[in-house]
Amino acid sequence: MDLLGSAAIIELAKAQQKLLSLQRVAVKKAPWLKDALCWCHEHEIDLGQQGSRQFWISRAGIVAVEQWLTLHDQGSLKHQAQTRIGERHEVSSSNEKIAQIKPMDQRVLCASCDLAQRLNQQHFFNLVTTPAQVNVELAYSQIELSQYSHLVVIENRDSFNDWHRYLPYTQGLSQALIVYRGHEKQHSKGCKSLKLRWQYENGHNGLVYFGDADIAGLGIAMAGDVPYQHLLLPSLDCLIANLDPLQANPDYDYARRNLGNQLIKRWLPLYEVLNQKAGLRQQNMFNLGLVLY
């Protein structure tokens, strides 16, 4: 029962798309549904609610299925469904019958400022000076998350490389796992999978987004199946003193998705300030005290 059948994967992927805008979706009783329910029962997943003539798949049920697939390296429902209907020929999976693993789908880029690691890198590579930080790619499934109190995802690659410059001015973080979000304005697949695993093991605690101080950044923090619980930004007074209209994205739709009504309550003061169409780029936060919101 480790693998879902092809029909079940395709139909669940269809339901997943509909659930982007709905809390539940009705499907007809069919053999694929019976297979899916058996699989879910085997893995202690509540897919939804039984009706008299149909079955209601819930958004929480689909999220639980996606989490299980991610934690066991079987690829997302969307990618597996695309493979089966001929739209793609590859999908990330630990099962060679499904597809070949794409290495970077299973890895994240992590940063460490630990002195012992920095000295070891200097010695191993015969570097002239001790590096300010060490960046290393790790398989997300091999990271012992119980050893960390926070997972900090950094938006920009140059800011990720300069994490050692932010760290002395950062408050409220201890034993934090620092990772890079990914290229092309999207979370990498490895980062998404790590977030899912963090939620699965640690619940809704300690997930931190560190990016630009603007409305788009707030939107990123709230988006996806695993929204963030904290933002790492300058204190409100410091932020107000340094906001710059020229650093806001002029093309961003400030009324998009009615963001103000969806935010965590403690983020509303940030929203009110940033909604004045001003911002502060992450690269300009050096030497500013950073706090958790």
The span from the first CA to the last CA of the chain, in angstroms, equals 42
Mean pLDDT of 78-85: 78
Task: Say if CB 16 and CB 62 are below 8 A apart.
Answer: yes
Neighbours of 66 (CB within 10 A): 20
Buried b (16+ CB within 10 A) or exposed e, 72-83: ebbbbbbbbbbb
pLDDT tens for each residue of 9-64: 999 999 999 998 888 999 998 889 999 999 999 888 999 999 888 999 999 999 99
What are 209's strand-pairing partners? Answer: 153, 231
What are 138's strand-pairing partners? Answer: 108
**Residue that is written with structure tokens 């996806």 in the block:** 224
pLDDT tens for each residue of 219-234: 888 887 788 999 999 9
- 3-class state of residue 94 by DSSP: coil
Mean pLDDT of 91-117: 70
Distance from C-alpha of 57 to C-alpha of 13, rounded to nearest angstrom: 11
pLDDT of residue 181: 93
Is residue 98 scored above 70 in pLDDT? no
Distance from C-alpha of 77 to C-alpha of 65, rounded to nearest angstrom: 8
pLDDT of residue 58: 95
pLDDT tens for each residue of 173-208: 989 999 999 875 668 888 988 998 898 888 878 999
How far, in whole angstroms, is CA 195 from its chain's centroid?
5
How would CATH label the architecture of 103-292? 3-Layer(aba) Sandwich (3.40)
- 3-class state of residue 232 by DSSP: strand
In the chain, what percentage of residues exceed pLDDT 90? 52
Q: Rounded mean pLDDT of the chain?
A: 86
The domain limits of the chain are 6-84, 103-292
Enter the tokens of residue 291.
Answer: 């706090």
